């Protein structure tokens, strides 16, 4: 058996308190290497349930990767549970204990006694050096049971161990097949049905490549997948051709040929042109500013943002006129224009965006229902505003408004032409 199953351990995953992003990342990483992933399972912090899930996965696949439950606290007991499954005792690894202690010493912190638990490992296990945390990765192998790989649940620690140790180990042991490769297109401002109509004559010609349409709060993503039907070079050639053909069919709605955020793409466009951006946000409450400042080096093009949630703040901070608010309200073309103009002036920017709307779930009227948003854009050449209507809950409306503001910004800048 050369397939792999993934088991995520943690009651919080079942209760919805935490999303298992680790499993998705591991699956994508393994697929890109040509490994076959047959199942993902989430299981509670319960010894019986954990052993049952891992035992069943080993019986089906032969190799299991587990995440979670390697910490020092009382609810972290993956190691002894898996050790019992393999008929192993727990032993103290003095070498790893020294590694953990040295890390605390280097930070000038006394190591809590509880951290000694992280040097307790199943007898005969292979330890994987964790350069990013105090819990080592662990490999347990048995000719009858199969192989279980234990990784921390902390994402950046897990990813480091996968790249440093697990992938090389699996390459040598399982002899992977052709990789599963993907290409992406990201669109905004076009409905899923319109996309399907535009590419209807293209998709059948791309077989055996698979094309999937993935709607989200930021637009519509298109994933093109090669499921290991070709070697890497041929797969890459076919994927590139498919991506290009679909992108041309969807002009001008494609904003990325990868999975980059539109905020990062807009930031690059501003940086290349030497433009400085300012923001004035109301219903999005700083969400757009957060997306922009998530970009390393955003200070190259981003000056700042004003969150003016109340009418009083709009007047005091952005010089929105009182008679504008009385006559038209905060959710209006006039207010959006004045907010953008105010941000442009107070920050001394080259371009400014404003967002004002009704995010819900309350506050809507017949004239301005929930989801109504005005987006303003001001430059030294003038100011304009666009009215949009979004569906979804409060969070989705706010995300869609921030995305629409970025799309408006990109449309206002000179656009490159899609080329081969």
pLDDT digits (tens, 9 = 90+) for 120-158: 999 999 999 999 999 999 999 999 999 999 999 999 999
Q: What is the pLDDT of residue 217?
A: 86
Rounded to whole angstroms, the Cα distance separating 219 from 343 reads 27
- Give Cα 181 to chain centroid, integer Å: 18
pLDDT digits (tens, 9 = 90+) for 368-386: 999 999 999 999 999 999 9
pLDDT digits (tens, 9 = 90+) for 220-257: 999 999 988 898 899 999 999 999 999 999 999 999 99
- Nearest 5°: the CA angle 404, 406, 410 is 115
What phi and psi, each to the nearest 5 degrees, are found at residue 90? -95, 135
Helix (H, G, I), strand (E, B) or coil at 387: strand
pLDDT digits (tens, 9 = 90+) for 16-38: 999 999 999 999 999 989 999 99
Q: What is the pLDDT of residue 228?
A: 87
20 Rama sector, left if φ>0, alpha if ψ -120 to 50, beta otherwise: beta
Whether pLDDT at 413 is above 90? no
Residue ranges in 2-73 assigned as alpha helix (H): 11-15, 21-32, 47-61
* pLDDT band at 419; cut points 50, 70, 90: very low
Contact 283, 314 (CB under 8 A): no
Cis peptide upstream of residue 176 (ω within 30 degrees of 0)? no
134 CB contacts (<8 Å, ≥6 apart)?
72, 100, 103, 115, 118
Contact 303, 347 (CB under 8 A): yes
Question: Which of the 8 DSSP states describes residue 346?
Answer: H
Q: What is the pLDDT of residue 237?
A: 97
Strands 254-256 and 180-187: antiparallel
What average pLDDT does the segment 270-280 reach?
96
pLDDT digits (tens, 9 = 90+) for 87-129: 999 999 999 999 999 989 888 998 998 989 999 999 999 999 9
Q: What is the pLDDT of residue 414?
A: 56
Q: What is the pLDDT of residue 1?
A: 57
Residue ranges in 164-253 assigned as alpha helix (H): 167-174, 192-198, 232-249
What average pLDDT does the segment 56-69 reach?
97
Question: Which of the 8 DSSP states describes residue 16?
Answer: T
What phi and psi, each to the nearest 5 degrees, are found at residue 280? -135, 115
Tracing tokens 């539109």 back to the chain, one arrives at: 262
Whether pLDDT at 75 is above 90? no
Helix (H, G, I), strand (E, B) or coil at 73: coil
Mean pLDDT, the chain, integer: 94
24 CB contacts (<8 Å, ≥6 apart)?
none
108 Rama sector, left if φ>0, alpha if ψ -120 to 50, beta otherwise: left
Rounded to whole angstroms, the Cα distance separating 276 from 267 reads 10
Tracing tokens 């690059």 back to the chain, one arrives at: 268
> What are the structure tokens assigned to 248, written together?
């041309």
DSSP per position, 153-183: SSHHHHHHHIIIIIHHHHHHHH---S-EEEE
Whether pLDDT at 417 is above 50? no
What average pLDDT does the segment 172-187 reach?
91
Rounded to whole angstroms, the Cα distance separating 110 from 105 reads 7
Burial class (CB in 10 A: 0-12, 13-18, 19+), 111: middle
251 CB contacts (<8 Å, ≥6 apart)?
418
Whether pLDDT at 415 is above 80? no
* pLDDT band at 280; cut points 50, 70, 90: very high
Separation in Å, CA 68 to CA 10, 11, 21, 100, 276: 7, 10, 12, 18, 44
- Nearest 5°: the CA angle 278, 397, 197 is 105
Does the pTM of the predicted model rise above 0.85?
no
Q: What is the pLDDT of residue 176?
A: 87
Rounded to whole angstroms, the Cα distance separating 190 from 259 reads 17
């Amino acid at each position: 058996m050369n397939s792999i199953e993934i088991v995520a351990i943690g009651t919080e995953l079942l209760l919805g308190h935490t999303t298992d992003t680790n499993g998705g990342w591991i699956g994508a990483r393994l697929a890109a290497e040509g490994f076959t992933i047959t199942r993902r399972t989430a299981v509670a912090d319960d010894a019986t349930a954990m052993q049952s899930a891992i035992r069943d996965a080993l019986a089906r696949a032969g190799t299991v990767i587990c995440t979670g439950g390697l910490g020092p606290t009382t609810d972290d007991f993956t190691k002894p549970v898996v050790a019992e499954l393999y008929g192993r005792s727990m032993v103290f690894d003095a070498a790893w204990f020294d590694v953990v202690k040295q890390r605390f010493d280097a930070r000038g912190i006394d190591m809590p006694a509880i951290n000694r638990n992280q040097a307790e490992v199943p007898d005969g296990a292979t330890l994987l050096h964790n350069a990013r945390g105090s819990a080592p990765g662990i490999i347990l192998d048995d000719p009858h049971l199969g192989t279980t790989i234990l990784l921390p649940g902390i994402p950046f620690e897990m990813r480091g161990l996968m790249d440093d140790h697990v992938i090389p180990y699996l390459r040598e042991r399982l002899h992977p097949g052709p990789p599963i490769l993907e290409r992406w297109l990201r669109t905004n401002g076009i409905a899923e049905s319109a996309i399907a109509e535009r590419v209807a004559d293209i998709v059948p010609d791309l077989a055996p490549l698979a094309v999937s349409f993935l709607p989200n709060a930021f637009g519509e993503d298109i994933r093109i997948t090669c499921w290991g039907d070709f070697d890497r070079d041929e797969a890459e050639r076919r994927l590139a051709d498919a991506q290009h053909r679909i992108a041309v069919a969807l002009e001008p709605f494609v904003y990325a040929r990868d999975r980059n955020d539109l905020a990062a793409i807009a930031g690059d466009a501003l940086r290349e042109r030497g433009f400085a951006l300012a923001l004035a946000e109301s219903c999005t409450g700083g969400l757009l500013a957060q997306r922009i400042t998530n970009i390393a080096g955003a200070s190259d093009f981003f000056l700042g943002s004003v969150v003016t949630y109340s009418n009083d703040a709009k007047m005091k901070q952005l010089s929105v006129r009182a008679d504008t608010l009385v006559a038209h309200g905060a959710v209006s073309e006039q207010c959006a224009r004045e907010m953008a103009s105010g941000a442009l002036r107070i920050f001394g920017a080259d371009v400014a965006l404003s967002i004002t709307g009704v995010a819900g779930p309350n506050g809507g009227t017949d004239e301005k229902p929930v989801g109504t948003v005005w987006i303003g854009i001001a430059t030294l050449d003038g100011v304009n505003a666009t009215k949009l209507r979004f569906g979804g809950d409060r969070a989705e409306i706010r995300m869609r408004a921030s995305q629409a503001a970025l799309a408006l910004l990109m449309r206002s800048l000179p656009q490159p032409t899609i080329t081969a």
